[in-house]
Amino acid sequence: MAKLAQIVYRPLGLASGLAAGALSGMLFKQVWKRVADEGDAPDALQSEYTFGQVLLAAAIQGLIFSVVKAAVDRGGAVAFQKITGSWPGR
């Protein structure tokens, strides 16, 4: 049953991962607007930003992405278990 749960959950996990990526991107843009008072975060190849600014933006973006992805993955797994009675992971 556990193997079947993993197979059934795979497309759901993929879809939730894509949603988590989109959500974290929107959230990062809002956070960056408040932190830096700018519309767009610096890109690593934009020379008008300092090394520190680029690294700060990347760190904030990575943190937000990781937290949102973990929350969505865990929430999806818990919901899947409640519906099917099987945990989708290992």
pLDDT in tens, 30-46: 999 998 888 888 989 99
Structural domain span for residue 74: 16-84
Q: In this structure, is residue 90 part of a structural domain? A: no
pLDDT in tens, 40-87: 889 899 999 999 999 999 999 999 999 999 999 999 999 989 988 888
Structural domain total, the chain: 1
Q: In this structure, is residue 4 part of a structural domain? A: no
Q: What is the pTM of this model?
A: 0.82
Structure tokens at 50: 């300092």
Q: In this structure, is residue 37 part of a structural domain? A: yes
Q: In this structure, is residue 78 part of a structural domain? A: yes
